[in-house]
A and B are shown apart, each in its own frame.
Chain A
Amino acid sequence: MHRAADMMLKWLAVLVVLTTLGCPAWGAEHTSVLEVDDIVCRGNLTTSCKFIRGHLFLRAGQSLDENEIGNATLRLSWLPNFRSVAIHLEKGAERGRVIVVIEVVEADPIATAFSAGLSFRSGSQTATVSGRIGDHNLFGTGKSLDLILAGEQPIAGLTARESLARLEYTDPQLFGSSRNFLFAGAFHLDSAYRYANGESFRSEVSGFDVSVGQSFGRFSYFTIGYEHLPQSTFISTTTHANGSFFTHYNSPQNVLLLGYGWNSQDDSSFPTRGTRLSLYNVLGESLGEPFFGGSEFRATWGVGERSFLTLGLRIEPVMQDRASIEGDPLISLSYSRDLPLDGLFAGVRRGRWYVEPGITPAGYSDDGHRLTEVGAKVGLRLQTRSFGLVNLYIIGTGLAQTGHRSH
């Protein structure tokens, strides 16, 4: 009798252990006895089903993996190609076999971005307006064609004007490879700037360029390209420590473009974390210097609920000054915070305000003191329903003497 009771207790213990092991904690994988018969797409008018299916890592003949279906829904939802994505099952050829149906509503492929700003810098006040409109699903293939226009006009003070027009084609998957990409463009840039300390920059350039690139590692990529400039004039007058002026003139026609980049930002417009680095160099006849390039670095961290800090570093060639870079300083530390999407911002999809203090070296004063432009950019970045990405900002800066007089 005791032995029977012992045996029963042992079996009970084994059963309890097995039951515990067999019951996953919440969120554990949901196994399925269903088998995938086929994967089909619905609602895709211009996007190929092959492209859509490529985001679901599941094949006909495999067991249905519901976690993977959840992941694929999120991957497809993130793409700009679709307004909505839903996946459901339908009965397959026999009981236990299912057809996975990916139902999409395609989004309007036209993308727009708009930026307007006022700058109050030492000696000049300007207004800048820029915009971008493009088709980001050209011929239903995921390629894009964008027109970019930018203009800056002085309101008062010293000369500060720019006009830029660029038509840009981007193929994010060159020859069907997700690693290779191409971008090409034709452009015209005309800019002229004069500063209180006598420095001036003048650029008038027209041309076209084509670059190919390859992603490698997790976040890196490199690019190599060619730029032909039938018309190009760069004139820069910069001050030296001894108070003298140095004028540099360039007129390159054929240049080689080299670039390296890294991007681990989780969102290009509203990053919450990650870093972005872009280094580029331009090699060509008559540029006169082995290095004529620049770099941009941005690192973002979350600093509390919906608040972020971004460290920015931008180095531009000393021979250019451009409004279309939106007046970003050399070194900046920006604080930004997500906007509550109610009241005034109820119609906005996403929004963030930011304050970006920064400094930029600004040459030398007449009497040989090192000058630094110190100021801040304050703005709003909104993802609107009607106008796309909108950036509104005000820049205010002043010049500060940050070094002793040079002898």
Chain B
Amino acid sequence: MRNVSRNYRGWILACLAILWSVPGLAAHLTPTLAKEQLGVLITDARLPRTLAGDLRSGLTTRILIQVELLQQARSIGHRDVEVDLRYDLWDDNFETTFRIDGLIVSAQTLGKPPEVTAMLAHLSLPELFSTAGLTGAKDLVMTARLLFNPLEKEQMEEIRKWVTENSRPTPNVATGSGGGLAAPQPPSESRTLFDRIFEQYAAGASVAAPFVDSATSKPFNMEALNREK
């Protein structure tokens, strides 16, 4: 039984290693170590095509990064990092706020959109997990899921209720009304945004977003990470 379990873990690690090694598939994630804390460096994250417009919209662009620390394919730590980017219409700059599990950890002001995209292309999130208890730990992997402008389940439920309540009633099947041919209104192209979020919830996600990217680190151990420091 134990052998089977080991084989299974081996397969997961192998798959994670393959995922990590395929170029262009997703963002790259590198574990970092500073002040006895594990962090991550996310590079080459794919950004939504609408990001430039979103950044200039004057509204807050929110990026939720769900970081997971795994040991032998078992989760041993989770952090929700939120990056809020808000364009100030009068000062022509971006207020950037970082939160970890809801607590503000840093805030900075960035100038033009290229500065923002450069920051996102080389996103450093230090001090996420304490290394206490991880001395000599092996087979560690970190994963990150980046959700751009995510929606909470409650918010989506409210929208779904609104949609259902505002759907056109289907005419009853009178003598010649066409029965099964009662074609619904055509969904608009913009509705694909709605459908994409909606389908993530249908698949059981607790948080969904119109654009998602993910990254997985190469398997590492604490000893090697300490040496690299």
- Determine if B99 and A84 form an interchain contact, defined as CB atoms under 8 angstroms apart: no
Identify B181's interface contact among A70, A74, A148, CB under 8 A: A148
A188 at the interface (CB under 8 A from B): yes
Chain A residues, Cβ within 8 Å of B167: 263, 265, 268
Given A79-B188, A84-B190, A172-B168: A89 touches B57 (CB 8 Å cut-off): yes
B229 at the interface (CB under 8 A from A): no
- Determine if A107 and B188 form an interchain contact, defined as CB atoms under 8 angstroms apart: yes
Give the number of chain A interface residues (Cβ < 8 Å): 108
Residue with the highest number of chain A CB atoms closer than 10 Å, among B101, B189, B195: B189
- Determine if B181 and A71 form an interchain contact, defined as CB atoms under 8 angstroms apart: no
Chain A residues, Cβ within 8 Å of B197: 74
Interface size, B (range): 35 or more
Which A residues, 227 to 276, have Cβ-Cβ distances below 8 Å to chain B?
Answer: 227, 229, 232, 255, 257, 259, 261, 263-266, 268-269, 272-274, 276
A362 at the interface (CB under 8 A from B): no
The minimal Cβ–Cβ distance linking B68 to chain A, given in whole angstroms, is 15
Identify B190's interface contact among A67, A77, A183, CB under 8 A: A77
A53 at the interface (CB under 8 A from B): no
Residue of A nearest to B159 (CB): A74
Residue of A nearest to B207 (CB): A27
Given A148-B178, A221-B169, A266-B160: A30 touches B60 (CB 8 Å cut-off): yes
Identify A305's interface contact among B189, B198, B203, CB under 8 A: B203
One digit per residue, 1 when the CB lies within 8 angstroms of any chain B CB and 0 when it does not, for chain A 27-39 equals 1101000000000
- Determine if A272 and B202 form an interchain contact, defined as CB atoms under 8 angstroms apart: yes
Given A20-B103, A87-B59: A187 touches B177 (CB 8 Å cut-off): yes
Which A residues, 137 to 195, have Cβ-Cβ distances below 8 Å to chain B?
Answer: 144, 146, 148, 150, 164, 166, 168, 170, 172, 178, 181, 183, 185, 187-189
Q: When chains A and B are docked, how far (Å) is the Cα of A31 from the Cα of B200? A: 27
Which B residues, 158 to 176, have Cβ-Cβ distances below 8 Å to chain A?
Answer: 158-176
The minimal Cβ–Cβ distance linking A385 to chain B, given in whole angstroms, is 9
Among the stretches A5-13, A212-220, A365-373, A395-403, the one at the interface with B is A212-220
Identify A98's interface contact among B89, B99, B176, CB under 8 A: B89
Chain B residues, Cβ within 8 Å of A218: 161, 164-165
Residue with the highest number of chain B CB atoms closer than 10 Å, among A77, A172, A266: A77
B183 at the interface (CB under 8 A from A): yes
Q: When chains A and B are docked, how far (Å) is the Cα of A338 from the Cα of B203? A: 11
A26 at the interface (CB under 8 A from B): yes
Chain B residues, Cβ within 8 Å of A278: 170, 172-173
Q: When chains A and B are docked, how far (Å) is the Cα of A332 from the Cα of B158? A: 31
Q: Which DSSP category, helix, strand, loop or mixed, fits chain A's interface?
A: strand
Chain B residues, Cβ within 8 Å of A338: 199
- Determine if B169 and A324 form an interchain contact, defined as CB atoms under 8 angstroms apart: no
Chain B residues, Cβ within 8 Å of A261: 169-170, 172
Which A residues, 335 to 374, have Cβ-Cβ distances below 8 Å to chain B?
Answer: 338, 349-350
Chain A residues, Cβ within 8 Å of B160: 266
- Determine if B171 and A183 form an interchain contact, defined as CB atoms under 8 angstroms apart: yes
B114 at the interface (CB under 8 A from A): no
A199 at the interface (CB under 8 A from B): no
A1 at the interface (CB under 8 A from B): no
Identify B175's interface contact among A111, A265, A282, A389, CB under 8 A: A282
Identify A207's interface contact among B64, B80, B150, B175, CB under 8 A: B175
The minimal Cβ–Cβ distance linking A27 to chain B, given in whole angstroms, is 5
- Determine if B185 and A136 form an interchain contact, defined as CB atoms under 8 angstroms apart: yes
Chain B residues, Cβ within 8 Å of A18: none
- Determine if B178 and A86 form an interchain contact, defined as CB atoms under 8 angstroms apart: no
Q: When chains A and B are docked, how far (Å) is the Cα of A305 from the Cα of B183? A: 26
- Determine if B170 and A130 form an interchain contact, defined as CB atoms under 8 angstroms apart: no
A123 at the interface (CB under 8 A from B): no
B24 at the interface (CB under 8 A from A): no
Chain A residues, Cβ within 8 Å of B192: 349
The minimal Cβ–Cβ distance linking B25 to chain A, given in whole angstroms, is 15
- Determine if A69 and B183 form an interchain contact, defined as CB atoms under 8 angstroms apart: no
- Determine if B189 and A91 form an interchain contact, defined as CB atoms under 8 angstroms apart: no
Residue with the highest number of chain A CB atoms closer than 10 Å, among B50, B84, B169, B187: B169
Q: When chains A and B are docked, how far (Å) is the Cα of A172 from the Cα of B165? A: 13
The minimal Cβ–Cβ distance linking B179 to chain A, given in whole angstroms, is 4
Q: When chains A and B are docked, how far (Å) is the Cα of A59 from the Cα of B162? A: 20
Residue of A nearest to B84 (CB): A30
- Determine if B176 and A187 form an interchain contact, defined as CB atoms under 8 angstroms apart: yes
B180 at the interface (CB under 8 A from A): yes
Q: When chains A and B are docked, how far (Å) is the Cα of A132 from the Cα of B192? A: 23
B133 at the interface (CB under 8 A from A): no
Chain B residues, Cβ within 8 Å of A322: 179
One digit per residue, 1 when the CB lies within 8 angstroms of any chain B CB and 0 when it does not, for chain A 75-88 equals 11111111111111
B152 at the interface (CB under 8 A from A): yes
Q: Which residues of A contact B (CB under 8 A)?
A: 19-20, 23-28, 30, 66-67, 69-71, 74-91, 95, 98, 107, 111-113, 115, 130-132, 134, 136, 144, 146, 148, 150, 164, 166, 168, 170, 172, 178, 181, 183, 185, 187-189, 205, 207, 209, 211, 213, 215, 218-219, 221, 223, 225, 227, 229, 232, 255, 257, 259, 261, 263-266, 268-269, 272-274, 276, 278-280, 282, 294, 296, 302, 305-306, 322, 324-326, 328, 338, 349-350, 383, 388-389
Q: What are 8 A-B pairs with beta-carbon distances under 8 A?
A: A26-B80, A87-B59, A91-B90, A148-B178, A166-B177, A189-B176, A211-B171, A388-B183
Task: Give the 5 A-B CB pairs with smallest separation, nearest first.
Answer: A89-B58, A113-B183, A187-B176, A259-B172, A25-B102
Task: Identify 4 new A-B residue pairs, CB closer than 8 A, beyond the known A27-B150, A266-B163.
Answer: A26-B101, A74-B197, A211-B171, A350-B187
